[in-house]
A and B are shown apart, each in its own frame.
Chain A
Amino acid sequence: MSEENRKIAFICSKGNMDMVYPALVMGWAALGNGIDVTIFFTFWGMDMINKARVDRLEVAPVANTSMKMNLMGVDTGNLGIPNIMGVLPGMTAFATKLMNDKMAGIDVPPVREYLEMLVDGGAKLYACKMSVDMFDLEMDDFVDGVIDIVTASDFMDMTEGAQIVFI
């Protein structure tokens, strides 16, 4: 064991459901292994900590080549969800529900609860100053556990020596 504790920092820049989970899963694993965790939310990633958005994150079937019909439990092999169907009203909600059900089926907590677990486990959450300004947000808009709104330069200072993962 080295003297200095291993540190890892995630930059979450996306709000699509498939892109919000990697940092949560890896961050939780890191905490479980005794690694310090910092998460910086920027751009669309702000949705993850936005109280009004965190329970409404979605995944769209349009132009998503990995999302196949068999996600619905039908044995259709590599048959995709046609983009022309994906543009119909309600398809994004439908795909999102499928994904949420799959997640719940393997006991993966919803994003809000996952963030609470991470905070309780000692992860430090920060919001990006530029995104806060751009989206007209303030601290009151964020879920509990977000420590502060910081600049990119602050982030660089606070993650010295950390491994950084951009998502």
Chain B
Amino acid sequence: MADASKSATVAAPHEFQRSLRSRLLEDYGILLVVVGMAVVLSILQPDYFLSAQNLTNIVRQIGMNALLALGLYIVIVTAGIDLSVGSVMALSIMLLAMADKAGAPWPLVLLVGPFVGTLIGVINGLGLTLLRLPHPFIMTLGTLNAVRGLCNLVSGGQPVSGISDEVRFIGIADIPLPFGGEFAVIPVSAILLLVCYAGVAWFMKKVALGRHIFAVGGNPQAARVSGINVNGVLVFVYAASGFFAGLAALLMAGRTGSGYPNLGIGAELDAIAAVIIGGASFFGGRGSVLGVFAGVLVMGLLRNGLNLMNISAFWQQTLIGVIIILAVWIDVLRRNSGTRT
């Protein structure tokens, strides 16, 4: 014991530098992977990959996963999980499509998704804290099924098409750039993503509640005795996750112009994958918004690149599986080298 403490004291300055370096790696390492993928793709597909059309395509394609992953990130920081986001998104899109068809004013329709999502998120949070279910996996597995069922019940399992242009604006509209030709546009959805990501990054860093989310993930007991309302924080994170699932529904409603009850089956797993590839710890307390974005981009670029090269979608799935395992394994190696034993 004396020996261990001695070596710990002696090694302290190195450790601090090392932990700083590993923290930098933790935050930005995955961005290197993104850049690497982009370079490889632009070499393999020089004419097409960097074209304005393809880039805006990528941005549109990653939108849904980006929003779901952002919500899941907040939950995963507390060492939680939200399996219900795919179903929440489906119920949201059906309700907003039905509200739109029923002639509700469009500003109200825009609010349907985020409202429904937040509501179910609060229910998830209350199930975890009030019912004291042993793990969020169970509560959200319950809502994954229950909400998907509700979605089919309200819609009769039938898609609703013909969503109005005002409601579709966020998901489909482009803002043309003054240069670069016909396809040089910024999709409105990209601006939405940017605002959401920057907002969450700021919130998690600067707002006390954001710091409390990290504290709950790091040591819930410490958070509790520090006077933090741990249950309140938990309800908040599931509400946030639901909110972003509702927002994703709005995005998809715009992109496709219709609500369909099978939307987002399995989407929660893609979102979890992006968060984990982005370096967030499944055990809570660790992970950055930038990392999540990089994780989303890795998955997006992989799909885009394999599509451009006409490689089968089955390979995409296989590769994403391998990348999840690799990303977490690299994380394990990095952590082992960074901690004293």
Q: Are A and B part of the same complex?
A: no
- Which A residues are within 8 Å of any B CB, using their own CB? none
